[in-house]
Structure 1
Amino acid sequence: MTEVKKIYLAAGCFWGSQAYFKRIDGIKQVVAGYANGQTEHTNYQRVAETDHAEAVEVSYDSTQINLTSILAHYFRMIDPLSLNKQGGDTGRQYRTGIYYTEQQQEKITKAYMEAEQTKYTKPIQVELDPLKNFIIAEEYHQDYLAKHPQGYCHINLSLADEKINLPEINIVK
């Protein structure tokens, strides 16, 4: 029996995020889009003015992979200390963020981020907010790296194939 849930992740350019998460067992679908902007409509040309982040909608079977594992992959592929910049991409549309749709996702993510913060002396720059105004990106952005294997990507996609080490997290009920 499957139980599909969704989490929304901004990790800089959505091309690499989509390609990375599609390689992970238990992930059912990954859709490139724009999240947590100020309007209900945007597109690639307007994303900076509407303050949306390039993000991916990750649909996962929670009986096969848990949110903690997804977060471990997420933090593996980003620079969590970088503000509004990942790889060669700069601007608020390339900020990092985790956008949840369920209270339990918020609790798990907060606990995970607290554990992750212990690795650093500087504060983590990853937003944690409820999802708002998610807009699916244009078709030419969907599976971009599969269509254009030589396309730009700052994410090391081979990391998706490596074993993940999960931290101990303490979730407050």
Structure 2
Amino acid sequence: MNILSVVPNEKTIYVAGGCFWGVEAYFKQIAGILSTEVGYANGKTEYPTYEAVCHENTGHAETVKLVYDSHRIALEEIILHLLRIIDPTSLNKQGGDVGTQYRTGVYYEEEADKAKVERLFKAVDPNHTFVVEVLPLEQFFDAETYHQDYLDKNPTGYCHVQLHKAKEPLLGLPEYVKEDAEALRQRIGDEAFEITQHEDTERPFTGEYDDHFERGIYVDVVSGEPLFLSTHKYNSGCGWPAFSRPIVANAVTYERDNSLSRERIEVRSAHGDSHLGHVFPDGRPDMGGLRYCINSKSLRFVKAEDMETEGYGHLIPLLDEEA
């Protein structure tokens, strides 16, 4: 189900990951990406052709321009997607493509983006093995028309990217084996069981996380999968914890809910399939306009200082992103 921001906040980043056909096709599937365009970036010549980039020393990298809604997807999430479809330790080679035009890179227009990318790289690559360029955008030239949306027009065309990964969970998930109903009830309690498994709702202003704003992450009480960041939480006055968006776009799924007199959009955890709450278009405009109204009993809070020991250390850089 398509959940749109009420107040989009457009930003732009440029990513290089080998042949731009597959990179573009992958990112077109990601929620929050508003538009894509392929082209040639940070080279030595003006208005290069594809033939020149491939066979002459132009210095350009095959690059995809991504315009995204920062209220729906953070730059850090985009970079995590890039890292899953490239080999960040391979210099000038991705898949079967070899040459400087196939180098990997992140090219930014805003200086603040550099620190975000480098902080994330440091967290996921503590041994500094990445050879991904992180540089300001010097120039970007549109590729020829036939290259734009190439795999849409040529579905059997060459692609070095595993496009199906766009639909798979982005974040590393804790090992989870679904318990039988009685064992789960015993572990999480009656109220949490009825909420997560039978779509019950806790009474407003009674949940422990309604007025809770400590730094950390909120995970599914059933499966342990990460769902929300404290930096996206705000006081909506509705009586339940309110978030502007999930930790990453595919952390949750959506279902139509007609159980009341009006249609609502139910929010469920993607991995554990727990009922979490609902999402409404009446949130804070400066945070995207959405209100993820979530039951406290569906969640477990992990403090920032405990994230490393509990297996969520790789997500700490996400806490530093702008809300």
Specify the TM-score bucket, using the shorter chain as the normaliser: over 0.9
Task: Give 2:83's aligned residue.
Answer: 75
Task: Give 2:114's aligned residue.
Answer: 106
Contact 2:38 2:65 in 1 (8 A): yes
**In the alignment, does 2:316 pair up with 1:168?**
yes
Mapping of residues 1-173 of structure 1, within 5 Å = 1-47=7-53, 48-118=56-126, 121=127, 123-165=129-171, 167-169=315-317
Q: Distance in 2 between matches of 1:27 and 1:13?
A: 19
Give the C-alpha shift of residue 164 in structure 1: 1.2
Q: For each residue in 1:67-92, what CA deviation from the matched residue of structure 2 results, as whole angstroms up to 9, or x when unmatched?
A: 01101100000000100000000000
Give the C-alpha shift of residue 116 in structure 1: 2.1
Give the C-alpha shift of residue 159 in structure 1: 0.6
**CA-based RMSD:** 1.6
Contact 1:35 1:132 in 2 (8 A): yes
**Aligned-partner SS, 1:45:** helix
**Aligned-partner SS, 2:57:** helix
Contact 2:122 2:128 in 1 (8 A): no
Q: Which has the larger radius of gyration?
A: 2
Q: Which amino acid aligns with 1:86?
A: Q
The sequence identity of aligned pairs, in percent, is 48
Kindly report structure 1 stretches of 4+ aligned residues shifted beyond 2 Å.
none
Give the C-alpha shift of residue 10 in structure 1: 0.3
Q: Which amino acid aligns with 1:113?
A: F
**Aligned-partner SS, 1:109:** helix
Q: Distance in 2 between matches of 1:78 and 1:110?
A: 17
Give the C-alpha shift of residue 122 in structure 1: 6.3
Q: For each residue in 1:70-115, what CA deviation from the matched residue of structure 2 results, as whole angstroms up to 9, or x when unmatched?
A: 0110000000010000000000000000001101111100101111
**Mean Cα deviation higher: 42-51 or 29-38:** 42-51
Give the C-alpha shift of residue 167 in structure 1: 2.9
Q: Distance in 2 between matches of 1:41 and 1:59?
A: 21
Contact 1:40 1:134 in 2 (8 A): no
TM-score by length of 2: 0.51
Contact 1:39 1:133 in 2 (8 A): no
Q: Distance in 2 between matches of 1:148 and 1:51?
A: 27
Q: Distance in 2 between matches of 1:112 and 1:122?
A: 12
Q: 5+ unaligned residues in a row in structure 2: which ranges?
A: 1-6, 172-313
Q: Distance in 2 between matches of 1:95 and 1:11?
A: 7
Q: Which amino acid aligns with 1:114?
A: K
Q: Distance in 2 between matches of 1:122 and 1:60?
A: 28
Q: Distance in 2 between matches of 1:6 and 1:43?
A: 23
